[in-house]
């Protein structure tokens, strides 16, 4: 059996993220020559070239090197989890959690979740990455994120899911829009109305599928990658929006203008916000603690009075 040190595995696991030995060495707090020696030592142990090193062209991983780096990353992560599974200093959790969140509801979820978490676990460092499914899924599968909160829509296989809360599409309107006088609104009533589309994966595809399944075509008057832009346009009476119900939602635009929120008739596109992580891997105690806290916080948020939605 090859006799690797944990430090050697750590160095090799980080190498694919860098184009030069110099940048890798700087991030790993090691000299470039020492890093080069560590690579050579590992290559001798495995009997294969793991990377191509050229001064003019930087460093490039071989196929064997990429395979080794991925396996090494899992070993290093496992060693860290092993150490962190035995909390020090009075049983407190310690270490990082890299947490991803889908952009459209991040502002309604992340602040309230992070508000009380440091008091519960002061030695856990939480970093947050906000983006679409196209941003978060590759980061999750590559190990850059421990866990991500996303909509349970059009997700690939190979993921473990934990439901945080159920949700469904709602119609947002200017309060003076004629349809706002109704308790609920059908897609047929919306077909000719100008739609302010939220342009993000998987929201766009879900909206298009929704109309197509009903044999309808939406009248898309504008597409925006920012949720606040959709709300702002609706608040100015320029169209309507179709958005998933979100907790901690005051029903106001970024300008403070009111919005009317109505359910679809019949209810359509039920979904859930789920925590996901790669199938076959286990959440760290820190990530599990964060999800437990998020579940409590979100339950309280949904229990809050939402009568403004029907005002």
Tens-place pLDDT, residues 17-34: 888 888 888 888 999 889
Examine the pLDDT at 79 and tell me if it is beyond 90: no
Tens-place pLDDT, residues 82-123: 776 666 555 678 888 999 999 888 988 999 999 999 999 998
Determine how β-strand 260-263 pairs with β-strand 271-278.
unpaired
3-state secondary structure of 92: strand
pLDDT recorded at residue 91: 63
pLDDT band (50, 70, 90) for residue 306: very low
pLDDT recorded at residue 114: 93
List all residues 6 or more positions away from 181 whose beta carbon is below 8 Å from its beta carbon: none
Per-chain mean pLDDT for the chain: 87
- The single residue listed with the structure tokens 């009248």 is 219
Examine the pLDDT at 311 and tell me if it is beyond 50: no
How far apart, in Å, are the Cα atoms of 205 and each of 175, 199, 200, 201? 27, 9, 8, 7
Q: How far apart are CA 162 and CA 149, in angstroms?
A: 9
Cβ-contact 227, 103 below 8 angstroms: yes
How far apart, in Å, are the Cα atoms of 264 and each of 54, 78, 151, 160, 214? 60, 46, 18, 30, 13
Ramachandran class of 123: left when φ > 0, alpha when ψ lies in -120 to 50, beta otherwise? alpha
Give one DSSP letter per residue of 186-250, joined into a string: -HHHHTTSEEEEE--TTHHHHHHHHHHHTT---EEEEEES-HHHHHHHHHTTS-BEEEE--SS--
Cβ-contact 247, 166 below 8 angstroms: no
Examine the pLDDT at 203 and tell me if it is beyond 70: yes
Rounded average pLDDT over 71-76: 90
Tens-place pLDDT, residues 120-162: 999 899 999 999 888 999 999 888 999 999 999 889 999 999 9
3-state secondary structure of 1: coil
User: What burial class does residue 311 get, using C-beta atoms within 10 Å of its C-beta: 0-12 exposed, 13-18 middle, 19+ buried?
Assistant: exposed
Q: How far apart are CA 229 and CA 83, in angstroms?
A: 45
169-269: same fold as 95-152+273-310?
yes
**Region of poorest pLDDT, from 36-50, 147-161, 247-261:** 247-261
Q: How far apart are CA 128 and CA 107, in angstroms?
A: 12
Examine the pLDDT at 196 and tell me if it is beyond 50: yes
pLDDT recorded at residue 309: 39
How far apart, in Å, are the Cα atoms of 228 and each of 128, 194, 198, 199, 251? 20, 17, 10, 12, 12
Examine the pLDDT at 58 and tell me if it is beyond 70: yes
pLDDT recorded at residue 90: 55
Cβ-contact 269, 202 below 8 angstroms: no
pLDDT recorded at residue 284: 87
- Place domain 169-269 in its CATH homologous superfamily: Periplasmic binding protein-like II (3.40.190.10)
What is the CATH code of the structural domain delimited by 6-84?
1.10.10.10
Strands (E) located in the chain: 51-54, 58-61, 95-102, 124-131, 147-151, 159-167, 169-173, 194-198, 219-224, 241-244, 260-263, 271-278
**DSSP assignment letter at 88:** B
**DSSP assignment letter at 47:** T
Tell me how crowded residue 32 is: count the other CB atoms within 10 A of its CB: 14
What is the CATH code of the structural domain delimited by 95-152+273-310?
3.40.190.10
For the chain, which residues make up each domain, given as ranges? 6-84, 95-152+273-310, 169-269
pLDDT recorded at residue 1: 56
Tens-place pLDDT, residues 208-247: 999 999 999 999 999 998 888 999 999 999 999 998 887 8
């Amino acid at each position: 059996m090859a006799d690797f040190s944990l430090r050697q595995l750590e160095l090799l696991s980080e190498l694919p993220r860098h184009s030069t030995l110099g940048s890798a060495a700087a991030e790993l707090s090691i000299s470039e020559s020492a890093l080069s020696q560590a690579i050579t030592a590992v290559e001798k142990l495995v009997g294969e070239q793991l990377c191509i090193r050229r001064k003019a062209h930087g460093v490039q991983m071989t196929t064997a090197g990429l395979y080794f780096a991925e396996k090494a990353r899992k070993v290093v992560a496992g060693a860290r989890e092993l150490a962190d599974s035995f909390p020090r200093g009075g049983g407190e959790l310690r270490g990082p959690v890299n947490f991803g969140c889908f952009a459209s509801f991040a502002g309604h979820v992340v602040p309230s979740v992070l508000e009380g978490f440091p008091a519960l676990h002061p030695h856990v460092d939480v970093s947050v990455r906000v983006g679409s499914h196209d941003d978060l899924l590759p980061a999750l599968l590559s190990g850059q994120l421990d866990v991500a909160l996303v909509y349970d829509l059009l997700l690939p296989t190979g993921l473990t899911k934990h439901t945080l809360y159920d949700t469904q599409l709602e119609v947002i309107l200017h309060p003076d829009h004629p349809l706002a006088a109704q308790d609920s609104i059908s897609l047929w009533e919306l077909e000719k109305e100008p739609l302010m589309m939220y342009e993000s994966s998987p929201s766009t595809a879900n909206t298009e599928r929704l109309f197509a399944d009903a044999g309808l075509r939406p009248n898309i008057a504008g597409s925006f990658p920012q949720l606040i832009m959709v709300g702002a346009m609706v608040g100015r009476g320029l169209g309507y929006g179709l958005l998933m119900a979100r907790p901690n939602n005051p029903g106001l635009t970024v300008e403070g203008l009111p919005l009317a929120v109505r359910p679809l008739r019949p209810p359509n596109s039920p979904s859930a916000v789920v925590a996901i992580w790669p199938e076959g891997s286990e959440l760290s105690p820190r990530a599990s603690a964060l999800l437990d806290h998020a579940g409590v916080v979100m339950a309280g948020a949904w229990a809050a009075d939402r009568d403004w939605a029907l005002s």
